Structure 1
Amino acid sequence: VFHSAHTTFHAPTELSGPGGMYGEIIRSNPSWQNKYERYDTVLIKKDANGDGMQSMLVSHVMAFLSFTHNDICYPCALVEWFLLEGDAPNKVASMWVVKLEIEGGKRTIGLVHVDCIVRAIHLLILIGCIYRVLCQQICRLSFSFHYYLEYTLFTMKWFSEFLCL
C-alpha cells in the first residue's frame, strides 16, 4: 500500500506553459503531516473515445496498491465513487454537481489501474439557496471545523472543470 502517486499529464496552463506537461502528487494518506487524513479526488477516464465530463468518473483515492499476477505488476488505486447529477453543469453556477454513490446504505468502491487516472481535481462543498439542508448543516458548524471533514460530512459537492489541483 502506498500513500501517494506522481502523475504527469498534458495541461496547457500558466504553470506548464502552452503545450506543456504538468506533474503533481496525488495523495491518499490516513495521517497527512501526522495530523489529518487526506484523500485527493481524481478524474478517471471511463471512455477513451469520449469527450468532456460524460467520458469521466469522479472518485476519491482511498489507497494506492499494487499486486503481481503472472509476473506482471499492476499498480492500482482503491477509489470511492461519485456520480454526476445531470447531463450538464448547473445552470446557475456553471459547475457540475457530484454526489457520493451509495448502494445499500454504503459508499461504493472500486479498483482501477493508475493509468486510468487523468488528474487530480478539487471539489467544493455544495452550499447555497438551492440546497437549504446543506446550508443549515454548515451554519451549525463551529469555527474549529477542519477541512478534512468536508468529504465525510457532505455528500454533494460542486466540481468545476477549471478548479484542478
Structure 2
Amino acid sequence: MDPRPATPADIPELVRLRAVALAGLGVDPGPADAPWRASAHDWFAERLTGRDDLRCLVVGGAPGEPLAATGLAWVTHHLPSPPRPDGRRGYVDGMVTDVTARGHGHARRIVDALTAWLGSLGVHYVQLHASAAGEPVYRAAGFVDGAYPGMDLTLGP
C-alpha cells in the first residue's frame, strides 16, 4: 500500500497513532480525553492544509478502517553555511506504525516518500531523532549518526 497525503478526516487516527508512538516510547498517553489529545488534534488541523513546507503521509485508513502508519516531514530554517547555503533542512518526525501493521514496510515507504519530497524542494540535508525500534528503518533508508550529538533542555514543569 502506497503512502498518501493525510487529510483532515484522518486527524482522529493521527492522534490515536500519536498515542501509540508515545506508549512505545514509554510515555503514558493517558485517557482518551487527556488535554494533549485536543492540542494534537488542533496541531494537525492547522498543518494539514495550505502548508507547502510540511507533508504528512499515511498508509491505510480507507473509510471505516484505522490508519496503519504515518510520518511527517517539514522544512526548517537555520543559518546558512557552506554545505547548506540557504540554511534549509528537512526534519522527519511523527513516524509510527500501528502495532498490528508492523513488519510490512509501511515506515520505509513513508520515509522514502518524505525524503523524496524534501529532495524535490531542493532540501538535501534531513535530520530526525530515532527510537531504538525505528533506527533500523532509518539506517536502511541511508540515515547515519549525526555529526553533532543531540542535547535537550526542558524549561519549566
Report the TM-score range of the alignment, normalised by the length of the smaller protein: under 0.3
Higher strand share: 1
Higher helix share: 2
Scaled by the length of structure 2, what TM-score is found? 0.27
Of structures 1 and 2, the one with the larger relative CO (CA 8 A, separation 6+) is: 2
